[in-house]
Amino acid sequence: MESIRVAQVTSLDPESLSSLVKCSQEEGFRHLVRLVKEYEQGENTFSRQGEALFAAIRGEQIVGVCGLNQDPYSQDKTGRVRRLYVLPEFRRSGIGRKLTEEVIKEAAKHYKRLVLTSKSEVQLHRL
């Protein structure tokens, strides 16, 4: 199996996420459809101070993504983990961990806290 690298994405071609979007929709998730829509419309390009988008890449294929945004609901220095997704066939191989480690590393440069909100809970990580 080819090695998987995690890299910060500074320019996103939405087509490069097509397999992730399709698969996530089949699983009942809509967050990657929103990622692409918001990116194309310029609403969220992960380009403001303290923001970043990371991709897990195998060869030329993106197999996972995870983003970092400023938390718009916080009055203090809080970052927000956004749009974490890994293709099912690549799960349980540490890719999600690698992506979130990169987000945490980047967040530590800008924020005191980092939050992740899912359908069922909110998790807080102090940096």
Query: Which parts of 48-118 fold into alpha helices (H)?
Result: 95-107
Which range of residues forms the domain containing residue 52? 4-126
Residue pointed to by tokens 């403001």: 48
Specify the CATH number for the domain of residue 47: 3.40.630.30
| pLDDT tens sequence for the chain (127 residues) | 579 999 999 999 989 999 999 999 999 999 999 999 999 999 999 999 999 999 999 999 999 999 999 998 887 899 999 999 999 999 999 999 999 999 999 999 999 999 987 765 556 666 6
Q: How many domains does the structure of the chain reveal?
A: 1
Helix (H) or strand (E) holding 82: strand 78-86
What region, left, alpha or beta, does residue 6 occupy, with left being phi > 0 and alpha being psi -120 to 50 degrees?
Answer: beta
Residue 113 host element (H or E): strand 113-117
pTM of the model: 0.90
